[in-house]
Structure 1
Amino acid sequence: MTTTTHTGPGAAPPAAPGPATAPRRRRASALTRQETRWAYVFLAPWIVGFLAFSAGPMIASAWLSLTDYDVVNAPRFTGLDNYRRLVADPMVLRSLGNTVYFALLHVPLVMAVSLGLAMLLTRVRRLRGFFRTVFYLPVMTPAVAVGVLFLLLLNTQDGLVNRALGLVGLDGPSWTTDPDWMMPGIVLMSLWSLGSTVVIYLAALQNVPPELYEAATVDGASAWQRFRRVTLPMISGALFFTMIVNTISALQMFTEVYTMYFGNRQTQNSFSADAATFYVIYLFQQAFQFLHMGYASALAWLLFLVVMAVTVVQLKLGNRFVYYEGEQR
């Protein structure tokens, strides 16, 4: 006997689910709710920390940026006065220019030097772990100690850098007092902490399939062609990541420079101090030196917008130049 299923307009509706289907659905729904509750339990520490230490301070800063607040007296609402003052303040443009100039020098130099060191480490066999640790250890040095160290190394009279230049017959510049040489000195100091970038590049280089190099060699590619056509595309994700991270870090440069040039402000003339005034340093001075908390909050929000805009531009460009394995082009 053959059973025929009718699906036409006049066909009867499908049979209702059996009696066992509803309890099974209720059990699945209860299990889902239980898993959701446990997910919120495990997320609770992060949520509380985010609200208390990130979202909360950001909301408070946004409110304070609209007030005149000196910590001692209650905030007084002033509207957009702080932002109007910000636009007219020449030190904002000066400090922001110093910061951007540093970032333009620091980021490409750190990436290039780190990539060169990482490629050298790929040729080391037995002592690779030792040298990797040696390159990374400076990252663990406290920032204040780094500032003091390079203040001594770059000393005009008896600094180690100028002594080394004197051995080859060169007169060392005034790294810490000449406005034209202060920024190169700061960039030189920033190379101290490139170890994390070296480690990232080394891991990326070790993940490049050796078959690609072998195929390129068989095809007659030179060392430069292999580097350009194989190495760079395969590690472009790591390059892109470090570019973003180092750019954000450079735009927030503070501790080392403040230790070098503002720890003993009496020894610095105003022109030299301005040459080393980074944006976050100026923000810090307005907040904790002059107690202009409302104005400092407005400066902080400007920095946030600048960092966000730069990151968005980098992300847009990264979609064109970054290669992800398995991605269809």
Structure 2
Amino acid sequence: MTVTHAASRASRAGSPARRPLNKRPSRRGAETRAGYAFLAPWLLGFIALTAGPMVASAYLSFTDYHPIRGGDWIGFDNYTRIFDDPRFADSVKLTLEYAVIGTPIKLAAALGVAMLLNNRRRGQGTYRSVFYAPSLIGASVSIAIVWRAMFNDDGIVDKTGQIFGMDEGGWIGNPDRSLPMMIMLAVWQFGAPMVIFLAGLKQIPDELYEAAQMDGAGAVRRFLRITLPMLSPVLFFNLVLETIHSFQIFASAFIISNGTGGPANSTLFYTVYLYQRGFGQGQLGFAAAMAWLLVIAVALITLVFFRTSRYWVFYGEGR
């Protein structure tokens, strides 16, 4: 009796204790489901408004689709016909000129004003707001209409230029002045990169400038040896962003030229011509092919920027 009882106690002591079953869902699983629930509106919007149209445009680029008669699969014909179109070549050339000339001028203006606003003075907040305001309203339809009225024949800009000896005739109707006019509109909207430059300038230690000044470095040398290297990551960010924006110019050029891209294709930017072929002539397949060529071109240019940034962008102690 005693041996049996002892063996029973030993077997109970050696056997693992039974744990109560947890029927409640785990906390991690509940948090995961809650996260997906909060992401659901964004995911639906991304699929319906971004990913879905991208897939549809990729398919249309291989067809001769028309919004009324539909279309058939034609393979790479749209992509080959694009390079035989002289107006396509004109739009590419104009857009490249706009990006190569306008982007550096815009960044230079933004950096110059940011350096002026970096100094402490009364009404600093007011100045920042005034310079930033054009970036908020510059791409709107109303501002483009005002800009057209200013640069039109007998407009205020034309009359002011005549005072300083410029020929009359306006800017919008003159093919030689259309691109400079569009660049001035882009430079006028330097507020966004200016704010980013200003934030970067605030991160540069004042001790570096004080030490350089004690060593006899002038303002230009301090700018080249301290400001630009320390500001290179911010400059790189603004350069990539503004270059992409310059290839996307549409609203201002479309409104100022009344959608024609004239005179003499002087405002026929890439996106304006894309709109004309897709929605003006109903050649949505051709326009989709143009859109994907633009995506590839911007991606390659951005890749070049990132590859070459190792030679001139400095992060902390190194490049």
The separation in 2 between residues aligned to 1:249 and 1:68, in whole angstroms, is 29
Shift of 1:320: 2.2
The separation in 2 between residues aligned to 1:111 and 1:308, in whole angstroms, is 21
Q: Secondary structure at the match of 2:265?
A: helix
Q: Is the 8 A contact 2:152 2:173 kept in 1?
A: no
Q: In the alignment, is residue 313 of structure 1 matched against residue 310 of structure 2?
A: no
Deviations 1:61-82 (A, max 9, x none): 0001111111112332111111
RMSD (CA atoms): 2.3
Deviations 1:12-71 (A, max 9, x none): xxxxxxx79x99xx99x9444343333323322222221111111110000011111111
The 5-angstrom pairing of residues 178-193 of structure 1 reads 178-193=174-189
Q: Specify the alignment match of 1:5 in structure 2.
A: none
Letter in 2 for 1:49: G
The separation in 2 between residues aligned to 1:171 and 1:285, in whole angstroms, is 32
Q: Specify the alignment match of 1:150 in structure 2.
A: 147
Deviations 1:245-264 (A, max 9, x none): 1100100111101101125x
Q: 1:192 to 1:40 in 2, by over 3 A?
A: same
Bigger CA drift: 245-254 or 45-54?
Answer: 45-54
Of 226, 234, 240, the residue aligned with 2:236 is 240
The separation in 2 between residues aligned to 1:300 and 1:118, in whole angstroms, is 35
Q: 1:168 to 1:92 in 2, by over 3 A?
A: closer
For the pair shown, the structure with the greater C-alpha radius of gyration is 2
- Structure 1 gap ranges (5+): 1-18
The separation in 1 between residues aligned to 2:167 and 2:239, in whole angstroms, is 34
Letter in 2 for 1:245: L
Q: In the alignment, is residue 259 of structure 1 matched against residue 255 of structure 2?
A: yes
Q: Specify the alignment match of 1:201 in structure 2.
A: 197
The normalised TM-score by structure 1 is 0.84
Q: Specify the alignment match of 1:293 in structure 2.
A: 284
The separation in 2 between residues aligned to 1:61 and 1:318, in whole angstroms, is 32
Q: Specify the alignment match of 2:267 in structure 1.
A: 276
Q: Secondary structure at the match of 2:300?
A: helix
Q: Is the 8 A contact 1:262 1:273 kept in 2?
A: no
Q: In the alignment, is residue 250 of structure 1 matched against residue 241 of structure 2?
A: no
The separation in 2 between residues aligned to 1:198 and 1:32, in whole angstroms, is 44
Letter in 2 for 1:112: A
Q: Specify the alignment match of 2:7 in structure 1.
A: none
Q: Secondary structure at the match of 1:299?
A: helix
Count of matched residue pairs: 300
Q: Specify the alignment match of 1:6 in structure 2.
A: none
The separation in 2 between residues aligned to 1:109 and 1:313, in whole angstroms, is 21
Bigger CA drift: 77-86 or 94-103?
Answer: 77-86
Work out the percentage of aligned pairs sharing the same amino acid: 40
Deviations 1:183-214 (A, max 9, x none): 11111121221111111111111221111111
Q: Specify the alignment match of 1:136 in structure 2.
A: 132
Q: Secondary structure at the match of 2:274?
A: helix
Letter in 2 for 1:294: G
Q: Specify the alignment match of 1:161 in structure 2.
A: 157
Shift of 1:224: 0.7
The separation in 2 between residues aligned to 1:106 and 1:173, in whole angstroms, is 24
Shift of 1:124: 4.2
The separation in 1 between residues aligned to 2:183 and 2:58, in whole angstroms, is 32
Shift of 1:93: 1.3
The separation in 2 between residues aligned to 1:209 and 1:172, in whole angstroms, is 51
Shift of 1:172: 5.2
The normalised TM-score by structure 2 is 0.87
Shift of 1:273: 4.0
Q: Specify the alignment match of 1:171 in structure 2.
A: 167
Q: Is the 8 A contact 1:173 1:181 kept in 2?
A: no
Letter in 2 for 1:286: R
Letter in 2 for 1:154: F
The separation in 1 between residues aligned to 2:110 and 2:35, in whole angstroms, is 40
Q: Is the 8 A contact 2:240 2:305 kept in 1?
A: yes
